[in-house]
Amino acid sequence: MLTILFALLFYVATLVLVAGLAFRVWQYATTPAPLKIPTTPAPVTRSGVVFRMVREVVLFESLFKSNKWIWLFGYLFHVALALVAIRHLRYFIEPVWTVVVLLQPFGVYAGFAMVAGLVALWTRRFLVPRVRYISGPSDHLMLALIVAIGLSGLAMKYIARTDIVAVKAFMLGLMRFDWQPLPGDLMLLIHLSLVAALMIVFPFSKLLHAPGVFFSPSRNQVDNPQERRHVAAWAEKLDAPAGE
């Protein structure tokens, strides 16, 4: 019963996440950007833009310029999250890739770093008046959700361990449509429920910043308005009637 419930939950969550994100990406990709608006100085070549975007996504360059504390905590959280995510790959692949094995020990520390980064960011939402002003219920809830995912994960590692071999069998079974029993440990069920919730809210929340950054015209446009004429389809119609 539990297995069926969670199996269905994860199918639904995955469907919502993938379809939702695909829809957003499609929306962003198909909405025209009628004017050239890169924040300058901006790269004058496509490869330059790729480099700018890589710096933005890998190093959080703009955030670093802005505020070292937000950068530090935000960076800590995101890098840790990446490591944790890589570490979790072992539940979904067999045999486990070498790189995942190698990163395994760091993944555990990353769990703590992730929670620490989030708590620091959350603390700012209370202590810094400007940030407190702009924080709404959903901002706090989102932090609570991800912190809870991190804590429940850490709890399984250090307090209430679960049968991870069985968990892996369950996950692989999900992917192969050959369902295997899920252990009934409370902490695991909490962890998985929260992750499913995160997957479901992703396409409807500010987590859209993840795909959004790649579509930001101020960051992804080449600074070449004079060399290349850039006209959106809807704007072309304005020229249609009578020329001058």
| Residues contributing to the site for another protein (CB under 8 A) | 24, 27-28, 31-37, 39-44, 56, 60, 62-63, 65-67, 70, 74, 121, 124, 128-131, 133-139, 141, 204-206, 208-209, 212-213, 215-219, 223-232, 234-235, 238, 244
Asked if 107 and 83 touch (Cβ cutoff 8 Å), the reply is yes
Which C-beta is closer to another protein: that of 61 or that of 163? Answer: 61
Which C-beta is closer to another protein: that of 28 or that of 112? Answer: 28
Asked if 77 and 121 touch (Cβ cutoff 8 Å), the reply is yes
Which C-beta is closer to another protein: that of 132 or that of 161? Answer: 132
Q: H or E segment at 29?
A: helix 2-30
> How far is residue 212's CA from residue 34's CA, in Å, rounded to a whole number?
17
Which C-beta is closer to another protein: that of 89 or that of 143? Answer: 143
Which C-beta is closer to another protein: that of 6 or that of 60? Answer: 60
Q: Where are the alpha helices (DSSP H) in 31-97?
A: 46-54, 61-66, 68-88
Which C-beta is closer to another protein: that of 4 or that of 141? Answer: 141
Task: Give the closest residue to 100 by CA, choosing from 38, 195, 168.
Answer: 168
To another protein, the closest distance from the beta carbon of 11 in angstroms equals 20
To another protein, the closest distance from the beta carbon of 96 in angstroms equals 33
Which C-beta is closer to another protein: that of 127 or that of 165? Answer: 127
To another protein, the closest distance from the beta carbon of 161 in angstroms equals 34
> What token pair was written down for 128?
């810094």
Asked if 115 and 147 touch (Cβ cutoff 8 Å), the reply is yes
Helix and strand totals (H; E) in the chain? 12, 0
To another protein, the closest distance from the beta carbon of 45 in angstroms equals 8
To another protein, the closest distance from the beta carbon of 90 in angstroms equals 29
Task: Give the closest residue to 34 by CA, choosing from 234, 213, 214, 209.
Answer: 234
> What token pair was written down for 228?
């290349």
- The angle formed by the CA atoms of residues 39, 42 and 45, to the nearest 5 degrees, is 140
To another protein, the closest distance from the beta carbon of 147 in angstroms equals 15
Cβ partners under 8 Å of residue 122, min gap 6: 140, 143, 147
